[in-house]
Amino acid sequence: MILDQEKITRIKRLLKSRPKGLTISDISQILKLNRNSVAKYLEILLITGQVEVRLYGNAKVYSLSQRVPISSMLKFATELILILDSDQKIIDVNDNFLSFFSVQKDSLLGNDIRSAGIPRLAESIPAEMMTDSGRMGEGKREIHLTRDGAEYYFALKIVPTVFDDGSKGFTLIFEDVTLPRLYEQKLEINEARYRAIVEDQTELICRYNRDLLFTFVNDAICQYVRLPREEIIGKDVLSQVYEHDRDIVKKNILSLSRERPYLSHEQRVIDPQGNIRWQYWTNRAIFDESGEIVEYQGVGRDITERKHAEENLLVMNMAIASSINGIGLATLEGKITYANAAFLRIFGIDRLEDILGTHIETLANPLNPGPGVKDVLRALRERGSWKGEILLIRKDGTRVHTHHTANLIRDKNGSPIAMMSSFIDITEKVEAEREIRIRNTAIESATNGIIISDPKDRLIYANKAFLRIFGAKETDKMPQKYVADFWKIAEDIVPPIEEIKKSLDAEWKWSGELRLRLPGENPRFFQVSVTRVRDTQGAPLCEIGTFMDITDQKAMEKALKTTYEKLEDAVEFMPDPTFIIGRDRRVIAWNRALETLSGVRREDIIGSDTYQDAFGFLGGTRPILVDILDLPAHELAKSYPGIRRFKDSIFVESVIPGGHEGKGIYVWGKATPLFDRDGNIIGAIESFRDMSEWRRAKETLQPQTPMGGTTHQPFEPAERAGKDELAFLECAFDHLKEGVAILDRKARIQVVNPPFQAMAKSGEAHLAGRDFLQFCHPDDVPLIREYISHPEKERNGSRIFRMHAAEMGKVMAAEISAFGDGGGVLSGHFIVTVPQSGEPDQR
């Protein structure tokens, strides 16, 4: 038969316009060609690979082949491609194939694949896949190759091929599936971890029509629902589905189409016992030739155990993630794979990414004392677990006390697969225990008695101080350990215990003074505080009592009261006007002499802090000394140059206007701070002394100068003039209450008055002529010597200094001043003792 190219072209054009294909009869009828001729043309096209045929029953449907040039396929394909002829000789190969096997194209072309020298390639391809290609069609399988020590997996697809010349061969397409296989291996490892939870289930298979009625069920479904097949066929697929899931399942099934022929979903069902179980279904739509859905097929399995396992796993994961304990996971090599928020917080790490994949030894601090990471790893290798306390030191130096538990995680065969560590932050507990130990030690060694009892009055704790009060050494010796047993020992308790309990019942606390007398002892006094402690619900938890022995304090208070009364009497009857202020600067003493001087009554000023208003008699001539006692020396000298400081005291001389026939009152003032036994200032005392008589006596030593500025007395030697003056003063100074001594120009004692003799406990004959410097305080001798040696510098001034005599037995303050004749010639010096504040007058 002569080939008619034009008819072949018409047939190909017709098949191209009908992509679904046509039978021989259809083509013959449409093209008006002989049926046998059409069959021959189609056979030629089929042999040359230009058309392909599909069998539908006894009918053959022909369609145009979608041909792709082999050269293009080799160039753009990502797979490894090898083309063989019918004798299995290599015709062509792509670059990916050459690159993978590291071979040259020239060394392969024309060679039999079995002798091409490609390791394990020929034996990996089953011979039956490349024989009788006309019958077998395409073949596919997975092969395994090893190259350079690495394993590779390929999905091999062998496609029967017809070349342009009509000859046949094979196209071998190698798709690299190594990565998916590695993923599968990892999944298998994970599956081994959870195999105890998730078990394989027998698949449930069924078919149902478009009305969702069962048309077929397998035995697994019958066993699952415990019904015979006949009772299931014809039932609604949704009848066994949980009511709340029916709409979801129905929507899933009805959404199937040619574009999306299958979908999977999870659903709940009701089993024969009325229990809810979970199933996983994959529904697939089955289409007819026209693309219409004719029925559905479903494949399902029971996943109840898996769902429960997933829920439990989710709960466990949430529990681990939100746990207050730090939990971390690591590989057997020690690489960190997981850490929860608490773990990061304990180690002071900001982000999980900062430690993922790092070795757990990187968390260790070389300054950490005690067990370390290496000790834990050694214990895990030897025993599989470790438990103990570890002190962690963060990078910022913060110390965290932890309780650490480490274990190996094993699979169902007992093989270790990972490591897990749990850290409990016990820093607060350790600190609390430390504080408790300190407090217990403090309570146990406290000088105050402490007792704790439960709501039933049973003894919980009593420290040594409490036991000593009652003469007991150990609480075990107290019968039944009841608090009441202590009270039975005492012969007298005031107030009675019953009154204290009534106060506790009413106010939950009692505080006051308790008098207690034990057999054969004197009464003792205690300051007691008892508190009833409640729990968070307000119920009584315990009672805590503290006993402070104030017996000695009471005796001291009594003695102090007596002393205070005596002091008050002494101040009251002192001849010098005197007042005292306390720590709060309120007046606590105001004697009669000051009442007379100020005109302010004692009862009107005691307790007042506005005492400044009572000193109007000073006329603003000087400040109140107790108000400036705390001024520094430099500020005192700058602000009040007329005031002098001597040790802790300050002195001032002033003239109060009025009195003494208008001449004014010459007053010495002195203020001194008052200290307690610990050296703390608790108040101040200020006294005033009328020195007018002394002043007038001193003035008599200055010769009277007439109007002309010269004296009426003839000139006499200084020695004789001094003797006359001394004789004149002997009578003038006898009535002074201060101790007075008159010195000559060489500081030798010439005259002493009776108060000075009384203080020195020595007669005038014994004192006369002695060098006064020997009575000065050693530290003040240079001051007095300077003053005596240069009288012209301070002719009208004076100095306060310290003096003492062996006979006196104490140090006292004194004032030295110079006097001379009318011509300005130095005659001698005055020494006047300065009265001490609070010192009774010595007349």
Flag whether 316 is in a domain: no
Determine the pLDDT at residue 843: 35
User: Is residue 842 included in any domain, yes or no?
Assistant: no
CATH number where 774 lies = 3.30.450.20
- Cα 659 from chain centroid (whole Å): 75
Based on the fold, state whether residues 629 and 647 are members of the same structural domain: yes
The answer on 653 and 723 residing in a single domain is: no
Alpha carbons within 13 A on the beta-carbon side of 505: 6
Q: How far apart are CA 46 and CA 69, in angstroms?
A: 17
Same domain membership, residue 661 and residue 582: yes
Boundaries of domain holding 424:
323-430
Task: Among 304, 331, 346, identify where a domain stops.
Answer: 304
Has residue 803 been placed in a domain?
A: yes
Q: Are residues 232 and 346 in the same domain?
A: no
**Domain assignment of residue 711, yes or no:** no
Virtual torsion, Cα 34, 35, 39, 42, nearest 10 deg: 70
Name the token pair of 251: 């929507």
- Give backbone dihedrals phi and psi of 349, rounded to 5 degrees, phi first: -105, 135
Instruction: Please report which confidence band the pLDDT of residue 202 belongs to, taking 50, 70 and 90 as the band edges.
Output: low
CATH label of the domain that carries residue 23: 1.10.10.10
Q: What pLDDT, on a 0 to 100 scale, did the predictor assign at position 674?
A: 87
Q: What is the mean pLDDT of residues 193-199?
A: 38
Q: Round to whole Å and give the CA distance between 782 and 762.
A: 26
Do 818 and 700 share a structural domain?
A: yes
Question: How many contiguous H segments (helices) and E segments (strands) does the chain have?
Answer: 27, 34
Query: Residues of the chain with pLDDT > 90: what percent?
Result: 12
Whether residue 500 sits in one domain with residue 623:
no
Would residue 417 count as lying in a domain?
yes
- What's the confidence (pLDDT) of residue 214? 93
Instruction: Report the 10 Å Cβ neighbour count for 639.
Output: 11
pLDDT tens track for 479-495: 457 777 778 777 788 88
**Residue written as token pair 């500020």:** 635
CA pair distance 47, 10, nearest whole angstrom: 18
Residues 392 and 327 in one domain: yes
Angle at CA of residue 61, ends 60 and 63, nearest 5°: 140
Residue 273: DSSP 8-state = T
Together in a domain, 751 and 770: yes
Q: Are the CB atoms for 575 and 736 separated by under 8 Å?
A: no
Domain-embedded: residue 440: no
Structure tokens, 327: 């939990």
At 704 the three-state DSSP class reads coil
Q: Tell me what the mean pLDDT of segment 615-636 comes to.
A: 87
Number of domains in the chain: 7
Alpha-carbon distance of 579 to 590, in angstroms, equals 5
Which regions of 555-699 does DSSP assign to beta strands (E)? Answer: 578-582, 587-590, 643-646, 649-656, 665-675, 681-690
Please indicate, yes or no, whether residues 15 and 60 belong to a single structural domain of this protein: yes
**Whether residues 485 and 535 fall in one domain:** yes
Q: Amino acid letter at 38?
A: V
Asked if residue 169 lies in contact with residue 89, where contact means CB atoms within 8 angstroms, the answer is no
Q: Are residues 410 and 392 in the same domain?
A: yes
Question: How does DSSP classify residue 776?
Answer: B
Predicted pLDDT at 717: 41
| pLDDT tens, position by position, 19-72 | 888 998 988 898 888 888 888 888 888 877 788 888 888 888 998 876 666 666
Residue where a domain stops, chosen among 366, 397, 430: 430
CA distance 203 to 519: 94
DSSP E strand stretches across 434-561: 449-453, 459-462, 492-494, 509-517, 524-534, 540-549
Strand partners, 423: 326, 404
**Going along 271-384, which residue ranges are E strands?**
276-287, 293-302, 326-330, 336-339
Of 44, 64, 84, the residue at which a domain comes to its end is 64
Write the DSSP assignment of 608-641 as a string of letters. -S-GGGGGGGGTTSS--GGGSTTS-HHHHHHH-T
**Tens digit of each residue's pLDDT (9 = 90 or more) over 804-833:** 754 445 677 788 887 765 556 677 787 888
Residues 564 and 682 in one domain: yes
Cα distance between residue 648 and residue 620, in whole Å: 24
* Res 236: pLDDT: 93
In a domain, 188, yes or no: no
The answer to whether residue 644 sits within a structural domain is: yes
Please provide the DSSP assignment of 157-176 as one string: EEEEEE-TTS-EEEEEEEEE
Distance, in Å, from the CA atom of 752 to the CA atom of 740, rounded to the nearest integer, reads 6
